[in-house]
Amino acid sequence: MAAPQAATPQTTVPVLEVEDLRTVFLTDAGPVHAVDGVSFSLGPGETLGIVGESGSGKSVTALSLLRLLQEPARIVGGSIRFQGREVLAMSPRELRDWRGDRAAMVFQDPMTGLNPVKRILGQVTEHIVSHGRMPPKPARRRGIELLRRMGVAAPERAAAAFPHEFSGGMRQRVMMAIGLANDPALLIADEPTTALDVTIQAQILDLLRGLNQEFGTAIVLISHDLGVIGSVCRRVAVMYAGEVVEEAPTADVLEDPRHPYAWALVNAVPRLEAPAGARLTAIEGTPPDPLNPLPGCRFAPRCPFRIARCDTEHPPLMEVAPGRRARCWVTADGRSLPRPTVPATAERRAPATGEAPLLQATGLEKKFVLPRKSLFAQPAMVHAVNGVDLVLRRGESLGVVGESGCGKSTLARLLTRLHAPTAGRITFEGQDITTATPAALRSLRPRLQMVFQDPYASLNPRMTVGQILAEPLLAHRRAPSRAAAAERVASLLDTVGLKPAFATRFPHEFSGGQRQRISIARALALEPAVVVADEPVSALDVNVQAQVLNLMLSLRERLGLSYLFIAHDLAVVRAFCDRVAVMYLGRIVEEGPADEVITRPLHPYTVALTSAIPEPGRQRVLLGGEPPSTLRLPQGCAFRARCPVAQDVCATLPPLAEVAPGHRLACHFPGALAPLPRQERLP
């Protein structure tokens, strides 16, 4: 992928000039400064990314730009100039005429952004008409044209459809058509791909980039993912605690971040090309309390490079190199931050291949019968898992990756026997548990534990952390008394890096990362042999994700755990697992050593998945289309319809066969689709 180019030089009036923007939330405890003096400017056709963790103020900034905030949020200072006009001085009427006409916005969740009871075309064209751009009839023609340009399949038919008939990716294309309907000079996209799968995300990012080049629309892209921003935006502003802490060309930040927070962001993300098993760089701590701003640098308490001045003096945004600004005393003199020292990881114990497998699945299948729509309708069937063979050995971590709907979460629930399989066999520690009774399972459960995806839903809101952790101990008589249980709870909390005093608190008093640590502690309470982790980090910010992953890695070494690690993010799996299995529509399509599968993928789907990860320099194999419905299984290879190298023979199901020692593949044309070579440094 080529680096996005600035369309025009910086001589004309900027599209957007933001100066010292301040937005507060009025709460009972006092005003929360969500956006605290943000400044930037954006020329015609330029692209700017805003990156930061949740709570950094990036989304509030985006909403402030179009003055879309609602009580109790209020813009209290600064200026926003659009092509020289002051947005904050506009009357409601002027604001209305400007929004959706010259400046547009695309939101995060395409599933809720479209009105469910209105037809697509009306939603795309209503503001073309209301802004007086066109009468209804030509507007409809333009609407269909827009849908076609956004890559909506069969736009004439789509125009008359309702939103629920579309997938998330298609809806986001419709949202983009809505945004671009009046050919605005500025498009603000707030996490437009966060809710989408990686291959769909790649399609949408490609579209954004193309629109910028074709129409010269200036783009502000908000994301928590520097990789996403890097693939669209030339410049990036890194936000922390309501402030811009670094603003520079994206490539420079990725290569040589000058603010320690940007440095942490860059290094917390697992990279595909990093050495296997490398620890991620995670900074401890949490963002500062927005109610009590610190006198010095807001990042100082968490900063590994902190100097004395940082605690006392608030740094301004200073020019640290030509075209680069950073809010840091350490790099103020133009120096770079050191590269993270990769902590040496303990030599991985080679999984005992000779031993009998700990957990094994053979021909595993699961079908769900959907509730009937009416008394007479044929019940529909979801084919969630369609024949999975899997082996997990002692001391090993096996990653299972795939996009949403591929059956990976169902697989996790089958292996822990939360669901009963429709067909196939599961053995755990040599015992057949396929049809084990609940009572028989209960005695096995302590050895086979699970960590869930949603740190908010997986802890009972009405129990304290102490009760949550003590419950399994007492139920399985692992603690002779309550006092002994309390002692064990304290040590468990300590193991996962939490204070023992937290035992008296309720789950809602903790952050997402802390809750996930509690979940892990609960899984560890019974000293399991296997932990099945269902997307344990996908709901977390990158830095917290790094913290939790590091914790799980060290627990594995200390306690000799085996993990079955479900994820949608290949880079995370690469950082965490010895072996990886790639799933598509309920079947494993490729399985092997993580290194090998990810750096030298043989299945076209794996190739597409690895290439879709937004990392600078990565060339994409763009996949058309979307995964087929799980309601009707396709004949033959399920990936056939999207596969660039599919041929007639793919109508027969390829078997999962060993192509190299420990590397299995289900494809008629192994390696026919080669990964594209990496592109070297951005120009």
Partner 1 sequence: MSRYIVQRLVTAVMMAILASAVIFLIANFVPGDPVLAQLGDIAASDPATVARWRAKWGLDLPLWERYGIFLSGLVQGDLGTSIATRRPVLDDIFQYAPATIELATVAFLLSLVIGIPLGIAAAVWRDGWVDSVARVVSLLGVSAPTFWLAFIMLAIFYGGLGWAPGPGRLDPIAFPPEGPTGLFLLDSVMAGDWETFGDTVAHLVLPSIVLAAATIGLITRTTRAAMLDSLQQDYIRVSRAKGMRERTTILGHALPNALVPVVTLGGLAYANLLAGAVMTETVFSWPGLGRYTFRSAAALDFPAIVGITLVVSVTFLLVNLAVDLSYALLDPRVRR
Partner 2 sequence: MSATTATSLPRATPRWRRRLRRYGPAWFGGGIVLAWILIALLAPWISPYQPNAVDVTARLQPPSATHWMGTDTLGRDVFSRLLHGARLSLAAGFSVVILGALIGTAIGTIAAWARGWWDEGLMRLTDLVLCFPPIILALAIAAALGIGPLNTVLAMLVVWWPKFARLGRALALVQRSQEYVEAATVLGLKPRRILLRHIMPNTLGPLAVLITLDLGNAILTFAGLSFLGLGVIPPMAEWGSMVAEGRELVEQWWVAAFPGLAILTVVVGFNFCGDGLRDWLDPKGRTQ
Q: How far is the CB of 368 from partner 2 (least distance, A)?
A: 12
Which residue in 126, 256, 311, 596 binds partner 1 (CB under 8 A)? 126
Q: How far apart are CA 331 and CA 318, in angstroms?
A: 9
354 binds partner 2 (CB under 8 A): no
Cross-strand partners of 369: 381
Give the x-and-dash track for 148-167 against partner 1 (CB under 8 A): --------------x-x---
Q: Name the segment binding partner 1 (CB under 8 A); options: 209-217, 373-381, 415-423, 581-589.
A: 373-381
Q: How far is the CB of 26 from partner 2 (least distance, A)?
A: 4
471 binds partner 1 (CB under 8 A): no
Residue 47 binds which entry of partner 1, partner 2, none, CB below 5-8 Å type-dependent: none
CB 493 within 8 A of CB 503: yes
Which residue in 32, 38, 178, 202 binds partner 2 (CB under 8 A)? 32
Within positions 420 to 449, which residues make up the interface with partner 2, using CB under 8 A? 438, 441-446, 448-449
Q: How far apart are CA 524 and CA 102, in angstroms?
A: 55
Q: Which is nearer to partner 1, 113 or 455 (CB)?
A: 113
Q: How far apart are CA 263 and CA 310, in angstroms?
A: 17
Give the x-and-dash track for 214-253 against partner 2 (CB under 8 A): ----------x-----------------------------
Q: Which is nearer to partner 2, 457 or 657 (CB)?
A: 457
Structure tokens, 330? 């350490």
DSSP state of 180: H
Q: How many other CB atoms are found less than 10 A from the CB of residue 647?
A: 11
Residue 611 binds which entry of partner 1, partner 2, none, CB below 5-8 Å type-dependent: none
**Count of residues that interact with partner 2, criterion CB under 8 A:** 56
Q: How far apart are CA 47 and CA 557, in angstroms?
A: 44
Residue 471 sits at φ, ψ, to 5 deg, of: -55, -55
Which residue in 14, 44, 49, 55 binds partner 2 (CB under 8 A)? 55
555 binds partner 1 (CB under 8 A): no
What stretches of 87-232 show up as alpha helix (H) in DSSP?
92-98, 110-113, 120-130, 136-149, 155-159, 168-180, 198-215, 226-230
Within positions 605 to 664, which residues make up the interface with partner 1, using CB under 8 A? none
Which residue in 31, 41, 26 sits closest to 79, CA to CA? 41
Q: How far is the CB of 29 from partner 1 (least distance, A)?
A: 20
Residue 72 binds which entry of partner 2, partner 1, none, CB below 5-8 Å type-dependent: partner 2
Q: Name the segment binding partner 2 (CB under 8 A); options: 123-131, 156-164, 423-431, 455-463.
A: 455-463
Structure tokens, 78? 């600064």
DSSP string, 530-596: EEEEESTTTTS-HHHHHHHHHHHHHHHHHHT-EEEEEES-HHHHHHH-SEEEEEETTEEEEEEEHHH
Virtual CA dihedral for 294, 309, 312, 53, nearest 10 degrees?
Answer: -10
In angstroms, what CA-CA distances link 481 with 219, 471, 476, 505?
Answer: 62, 12, 12, 21
Q: How far is the CB of 518 from partner 2 (least distance, A)?
A: 11
307 binds partner 2 (CB under 8 A): no
Residue 27 binds which entry of partner 1, partner 2, none, CB below 5-8 Å type-dependent: partner 2
Q: Which is nearer to partner 1, 66 or 262 (CB)?
A: 66
Which residue in 49, 52, 113, 528 binds partner 1 (CB under 8 A)? 113
Task: Measure the CA angle with vertex 186, ends 181 and 188; round to 5°.
Answer: 90
Terminal alpha carbon distance of the chain = 11
Structure tokens, 24? 């507060």
Residue 475 binds which entry of partner 2, partner 1, none, CB below 5-8 Å type-dependent: partner 2
Q: Name the segment binding partner 1 (CB under 8 A); options: 95-103, 209-217, 256-264, 352-360.
A: 95-103
CB 282 within 8 A of CB 547: yes
DSSP string, 10-37: TTS--SEEEEEEEEEEEETTEEEEEEEE
460 binds partner 2 (CB under 8 A): yes
Q: How far is the CB of 117 from partner 1 (least distance, A)?
A: 5
109 binds partner 1 (CB under 8 A): yes
Q: How far is the CB of 63 from partner 2 (least distance, A)?
A: 6
Instruction: Tell whether the torsion through CA atoms of 55, 56, 60 and 62 is positive or negative.
Output: negative
Q: How far is the CB of 127 from partner 1 (least distance, A)?
A: 4
Give the x-and-dash track for 161-180 against partner 2 (CB under 8 A): --------------------
Q: How far apart are CA 169 and CA 163, in angstroms?
A: 12
Within positions 483 to 512, which residues make up the interface with partner 2, using CB under 8 A? 508-509
Q: How far apart are CA 162 and CA 116, in angstroms?
A: 7
Which residue in 612, 486, 569 sits closest to 206, CA to CA? 612
Which residue in 590, 633, 197, 540 sits closest to 400, CA to CA? 590
Residue 486 binds which entry of partner 1, partner 2, none, CB below 5-8 Å type-dependent: none
71 binds partner 2 (CB under 8 A): yes
Q: How far apart are CA 57 and CA 244, in angstroms?
A: 9
- SS3 (DSSP) at 80: strand
Q: How far is the CB of 12 from partner 2 (least distance, A)?
A: 31
15 binds partner 1 (CB under 8 A): no
CB 234 within 8 A of CB 324: no
CB 265 within 8 A of CB 51: yes
CB 590 within 8 A of CB 610: no
Q: Which residues here bind partner 1, judged by CB under 8 A?
A: 66, 68, 95-101, 104-105, 107, 109, 112-118, 126-127, 130-131, 162, 164, 175, 178, 373-377
Q: Which residues here bind partner 2, judged by CB under 8 A?
A: 25-28, 31-32, 34, 54-60, 63, 69-73, 108, 191, 224, 413, 416, 418, 438, 441-446, 448-450, 452-454, 457-463, 471-472, 475-476, 508-509, 519, 522, 525-526
